[in-house]
Amino acid sequence: MWARAVWLGLRAPLGGRRGLTSTTDPQGSGRITVEVIEHLERLALVDFGSREAVARLEKAVAFADRLRAVDTDGVEPMESVLEDRCLYLRSDNVVEGNCAEELLQNSHRVVEEYFVAPPGNISLPKLDEQEPFPHS
């Protein structure tokens, strides 16, 4: 699950320190595998089109890894920078809507006031179907 550990390192840590140190490289020089790139491209629909982009990603992970230097034992994780604010509760009245025409202008194709989308998700081509990717 090294690939997952790397990915988790990118996200804001949700529960203090996780016991991942056993699987990640403490030096932070983790190489990101082709499987991880493929996985990320599917999840986030980003395009790591070049070696440079992957290198940038590796640098970003290494940068984020410095968070592990902080000892967070016994510290409650912060869920939100808004934690001291009150969550505003709106009363249950209808005040919006009725702007179908305006909204439909955003759509490339429209059929009788419906947005038109392709049938289901279009899967990304598998890695071996793509052009050869300059990755070691």
Partner 1 sequence: MLRWGSPGRRWALAWGDGGFRQRRGSPTGSASNRVRGQSSGAQQLLDTAQKPRKGKHEWAALVGLEIHAQISSNSKLFSGSQVRFAAPPNSLVSFFDASLPGTLPVLNRRCVEAAVMTGLALNCHINKKSLFDRKHYFYADLPAGYQITQQRLPIAVNGSLTYSICTGKKQSQMITKTVRIKQIQLEQDSGKSLHDDLRSQTLIDLNRAGVGLLEVVLEPDMSCGEEAATAVRELQLILQALGTSQANMAEGQLRVDANISVHHPGEPWGIRTEVKNLNSIKFLAKAIDYEIQRQIDELENGGEILNETRSFDYKLGCTMPMRDKEGKQDYRFMPEPNLPPLLLYDATSLPAGTDSQQVINIDQIRERLPELPRVTRERLIQQYGMLPEHGFALLRMRGQGPRLLSLKDINYLLHSASDKLDKRQTFELMYNEPRLPGCFFAQNCDFREESASI
| Contacts for 69 with CB less than 8 Å, ≥ 6 apart | none
What angle is formed at CA 129 by the lines to CA 123 and CA 131, rounded to 5 degrees?
Answer: 115
Residue from 19, 97, 125, 132 touching partner 1 (CB under 8 A): that is 97
Instruction: Find the binder of partner 1 among 22, 91, 105, 136 (CB under 8 A).
Output: 91
Question: Is 105 a binder of partner 1 (CB under 8 A)?
Answer: no
Total of residues contacting partner 1 (CB under 8 A) = 44
DSSP string, 28-88: S-PPPPHHHHHHHHHHH-----SHHHHHHHHHHHHHHHGGGGS--TT-PPP--TTTTS---
If binding is defined by CB under 8 A, does position 47 make contact with partner 1? no
Of the candidate spans 24-32, 58-66, 67-75, 105-113, the one that interacts with partner 1 by CB under 8 A turns out to be: 105-113
- CB-based contact 13:70 (threshold 8 Å): no
The minimum distance between CB 46 and partner 1, in angstroms, equals 12
Our CB check for partner 1 shows the closer of 27 and 121 to be 121
Judged by the rule CB under 8 A, the positions of this chain that interact with partner 1 are 11-12, 14, 39, 43-45, 79-100, 103-104, 106, 111-121, 123
